[in-house]
């Protein structure tokens, strides 16, 4: 649970679209092995360009390493996802600055450009992703056809990977369960309520304001009611400007947190009294975006990571952590998804309950937050 990524969006998909810090030193980015070299891998738009998956694996193993950034081990099961990649392909993953925001991911790529420590891949929010598509390499994974059209760039510059539902985590040993938004204005929540970061920088915090807005008579087309309500929380002395982490939750410093459901559920591992609820009404959902750095020092490993992320194994690891994988419909069709886990991850909500801003709405919300947020929480 961190404030790592800015503005993860797109519809939560298909038939339900709807389910309907610096990097560790690594070897120079030399030849990619196999039948090609690093230039071949950097130009590859699919595994077929390197002779298929066997060729891609061989090229990536010749590079031997992969640089990732902004992937906390306790966020959406990335600890297991990274370990699974290392074990399956015998490639070392260098994980940098896990708590970085999306903007900081791009900044790191700029600062480290041309160095073998630059990020190979990104995990970004929509606003940052759309602003930086010139930095991404087009690539289509083998599972491309099982990813809904609304969840991918047509050329594969970015692809949605997983989502969560905005929720409230609360220490049930100290606080009553909130059943509606106005409950949080009660004195019982004095100095208790936090959101996961600065909404002008962090995707979870942006989504928290969007969720509050949707529950306060506004919506994804107007974040004003969300900012207004947080202003009321601040005036009542109930709002905290502390960035919540598993440690602050475990210590009781942040006893109530607006955050992605998978983060709040995960916090209960260290704090068993920390419960998660999704308030009745519109449920804010938002996808994260996977992308390959066009200047990746390990271009074959970057593309193999992309294949891993959208594989059945990695997609099911997201679900294991209460995140909803983008290929959930394909997993359901094949009978390989745990229906109970899916019900738990979605908190019983369906696409009829979900709201997510489109690109123009994200831009408008960003402007509003930039103009009003600092004043609202004073």
Looking at the structure, tell me whether residues 255 and 366 fall in a common domain.
yes
Of 72-81, 119-128, 336-345, give the lowest mean pLDDT range. 336-345
Contact call for residues 355 and 220 (beta carbons, < 8 A): yes
Q: What is the pLDDT of residue 27?
A: 36
Per the domain annotation, does 27 fall within a domain? Answer: no
Where residue 37 falls among pLDDT bands split at 50, 70, 90? low
- Residue whose C-alpha is closest to residue 47's, from 314, 315, 307, 327: 307
Looking at the structure, tell me whether residues 359 and 246 fall in a common domain.
yes
Looking at the structure, tell me whether residues 243 and 364 fall in a common domain.
yes
Looking at the structure, tell me whether residues 174 and 157 fall in a common domain.
no
Alpha helix ranges (H) inside 2-52: 38-43
Looking at the structure, tell me whether residues 230 and 294 fall in a common domain.
no
77-109 pLDDT, tens digit per residue, is: 999 999 999 999 999 999 999 989 888 999 999
Looking at the structure, tell me whether residues 42 and 156 fall in a common domain.
yes
Looking at the structure, tell me whether residues 115 and 255 fall in a common domain.
no
Q: Is the pLDDT of residue 18 over 80?
A: no
DSSP state of 161: E
Q: What is the pLDDT of residue 10?
A: 35
CATH number for position 144: 3.40.190.10
Looking at the structure, tell me whether residues 50 and 156 fall in a common domain.
yes
Q: What is the pLDDT of residue 14?
A: 33
Calculate the average pLDDT of the chain: 88
Q: Is the pLDDT of residue 25 over 60?
A: no
Per the domain annotation, does 28 fall within a domain? Answer: no
Residue where the block lists tokens 């107007």: 222
Looking at the structure, tell me whether residues 193 and 265 fall in a common domain.
yes
Per the domain annotation, does 21 fall within a domain? Answer: no
- Mean predicted confidence (pLDDT) in 322-341: 87
Q: Is the pLDDT of residue 21 over 80?
A: no
Per the domain annotation, does 47 fall within a domain? Answer: yes
Q: What is the pLDDT of residue 358?
A: 81
Q: Which domain holds residue 314?
A: 38-162+286-349
- Mean predicted confidence (pLDDT) in 155-174: 95
Alpha helix ranges (H) inside the chain: 38-43, 53-63, 78-89, 102-111, 126-131, 203-215, 224-235, 246-251, 261-267, 299-309, 312-320, 328-334, 339-346, 359-376
Q: What is the pLDDT of residue 139?
A: 98
Helix (H) / strand (E) element for 169: namely strand 159-171
166-209 pLDDT, tens digit per residue, is: 999 999 999 999 999 999 999 999 999 999 989 988 888 999 99
Percent of all residues in the chain with a pLDDT value above 90, rounded to a whole number: 70
List Cα–Cα distances, 163 to 126, 297, 324, in angstroms.
12, 28, 5
| Higher per-residue confidence, 342 vs 233 | 233
Per the domain annotation, does 102 fall within a domain? Answer: yes
Per the domain annotation, does 202 fall within a domain? Answer: yes
The total number of structural domains in the chain stands at 2
**Entry pTM:** 0.76
Looking at the structure, tell me whether residues 365 and 297 fall in a common domain.
no
Q: What is the pLDDT of residue 316?
A: 95
Looking at the structure, tell me whether residues 251 and 365 fall in a common domain.
yes
Q: What is the pLDDT of residue 290?
A: 98
Half-sphere exposure of 160 (CA within 13 A, CB side): 29
User: Strands 256-260, 159-171: parallel, antiparallel or unpaired by DSSP?
Assistant: antiparallel
The helix/strand/coil state of 283 is strand
Looking at the structure, tell me whether residues 339 and 365 fall in a common domain.
no
- Residue whose C-alpha is closest to residue 197's, from 127, 248, 149, 157: 248
- Residue whose C-alpha is closest to residue 98's, from 79, 111, 83, 80: 79
Per the domain annotation, does 254 fall within a domain? Answer: yes
């Amino acid at each position: 649970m961190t404030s790592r990524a800015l503005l993860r969006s797109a519809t939560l998909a298909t038939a339900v679209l709807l389910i309907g810090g610096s990097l560790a030193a690594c070897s120079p980015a030399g030849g990619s092995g196999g039948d090609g070299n690093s230039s071949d891998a950097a130009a590859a738009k699919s595994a077929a360009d390197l002779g298929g998956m066997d060729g891609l694996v061989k090229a990536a193993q010749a590079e031997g390493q992969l640089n990732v950034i902004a992937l906390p081990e306790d966020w959406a099961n990335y600890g297991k996802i990274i370990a699974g990649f290392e074990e399956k392909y015998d490639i070392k993953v260098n994980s940098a600055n896990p708590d970085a925001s999306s903007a900081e991911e791009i900044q790191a790529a700029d600062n480290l450009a041309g160095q073998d420590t630059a990020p190979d891949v990104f995990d970004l929010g929509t606003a940052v992703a759309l602003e930086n598509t010139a930095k991404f390499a087009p690539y289509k994974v083998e599972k491309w056809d099982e990813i809904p059209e609304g969840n991918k760039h047509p050329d594969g510059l970015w692809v949605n990977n997983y989502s969560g539902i905005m929720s409230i985590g609360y220490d049930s040993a100290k606080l009553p369960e909130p059943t509606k938004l106005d409950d949080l204005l009660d004195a019982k929540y004095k100095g208790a309520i936090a959101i996961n970061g600065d909404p002008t920088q962090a995707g979870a915090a942006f989504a928290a304001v969007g969720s509050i807005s949707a529950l306060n008579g506004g919506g994804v087309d107007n974040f004003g009611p969300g900012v207004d309500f947080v202003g009321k929380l601040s005036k009542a002395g109930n709002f905290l400007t502390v960035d919540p982490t598993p440690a602050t939750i475990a210590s009781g410093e942040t006893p109530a947190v607006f955050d992605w459901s998978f983060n709040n559920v995960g916090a209960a591992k260290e704090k068993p009294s920390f419960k998660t609820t999704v308030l009745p009404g519109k449920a804010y959902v938002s996808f994260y975006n996977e992308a390959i750095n066009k200047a990746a020092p390990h271009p074959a490993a970057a593309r193999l990571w992309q294949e891993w992320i959208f594989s059945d194994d990695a997609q099911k690891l997201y679900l294991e952590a209460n995140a909803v994988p983008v290929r959930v419909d394909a997993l359901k069709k094949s009978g390989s998804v745990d229906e109970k886990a899916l019900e738990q991850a979605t908190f019983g909500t369906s696409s009829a309950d979900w709201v997510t801003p489109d690109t123009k709405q994200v831009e408008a919300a960003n402007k509003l937050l930039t103009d009003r947020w600092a004043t609202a929480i004073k």
